[in-house]
Amino acid sequence: MLQLDEIAKDHAYLTALRREFHAHPEIAFEEKRTSARVAEELETVGITVTRNIGGTGLVGIIEGGKGPGRSIGLRADMDALPIHEESDFAWRSTVDGCFHGCGHDGHMTMLIAAARYLQANRHQFSGRVVLIFQPAEEGLGGARAMIADRLFERFPCDEIYALHNAPDRPFGTVAVGPGPVSASADFFDIDIKGNGGHAAFPHRAVDAGLAALAIAQGLNTIVSRNVDPVESAVLSVTAMTAGSTYNVIPDTARLSGTIRTMKADVRAQMAMRVRNLAESVAAGYGTSATVSIRDVFSALANHETQAEVIAMAARAVVGEANLELFPPIVMTSEDFADMLSHVPGAYFFLGQGQGAALHNPRYAFNDAVIPIGAAMFARIVLDRAGQA
């Protein structure tokens, strides 16, 4: 396939670029070096760049050489995770406690590679390509920040596309389908207030830690006892803090975690049950509970036409045998969902076929998929804007 073959010629350069991004990770809204390097790569090949959109985000514009036509958005995320990398690669993170454990370094590189190809071949398509490099995908609302900064008013898109690498899928496969893809996510904190005291006199204290344990146990019954079994829902308590030493009953405690659902009514039901259960169990232990629930991610659903566009591109790039249609939904979350609430589009998974899971300290991006992801982006543009 022409796009794949052409992009693959630069594989050594692209691999070095990806590894540079990996060695210098930056967490949400701190992607200053990263954003500057992306801009440099785009401007070097003549692409116009607008910086500082939604914080550290940026947009590059490629004008098609065949006149007016569709405006096609392509998006990549830029932020790393606050995780210590446990690998011995020569290009391992140089920033202690921060690394690209989700492959966003690879996503950026694939979009840059596609941009280089499309800029060199802009005579093949009409309209424009809007290259969106987004900050803060990992739970701090980078998509929402760019949208609030008038992303789509300043750079209108008729449709928009994004991808994510998938170490749990076979190498070079593309998974896509219309409709629900991934879950919404709410993050919660429950602060419990008791009355601390000496551990030798528990009857004189009100144990916030004990109440927290009971609340945590109760929360884990919500999905099994309050949500319709045919619905998708997850509630996980992921952090517990109480006390500071051996002989003091804690005065306060905190539980933190996440709620993930596919439907708005289930999401609202679970939030209500978390509040009611935490407050009532806390009261039963003589404590009080304050519950904070934050909307972090919307549920992601692909638009039917754009999902088929990705499937068509996959047939050309990786072949029918490597295309998985209607993959199972996943309970992870992705803030590209917010962009899809403004512009029709779709999101697909690209199998990289190796290594540890996403967000694992030993996760490793497979550089061999860079040309494939880039060719998918390029083919989408040529299929859509080349015909306009």
Catalytic residues: 79, 137
CB of 133 closer than 8 Å to CB of 78: yes
Please identify which residue in the block is written with the tokens 């190809």.
117
44-53 burial, b for 16+ CB within 10 Å, e for fewer? Answer: eeebebeeeb
H or E element at residue 20: helix 11-23
3-state DSSP helix/strand/coil % of the chain, to nearest 5: 40, 25, 35
| Whole-number Å distance between alpha carbons of 336 and 327 | 18
Strands (E), 111-232: 128-134, 159-166, 174-176, 179-182, 184-193, 197-198
Rg (CA), the chain: 23
| Whole-number Å distance between alpha carbons of 181 and 303 | 10
**Degrees to nearest 5, angle at CA 378 with 114 and 68:** 110
Burial of 362 (0-12, 13-18, 19+ CB in 10 A): exposed
Helix (H, G, I), strand (E, B), or coil: what is residue 51? strand
At how many degrees (to 10) do helices 32-44 and 11-23 cross? 160
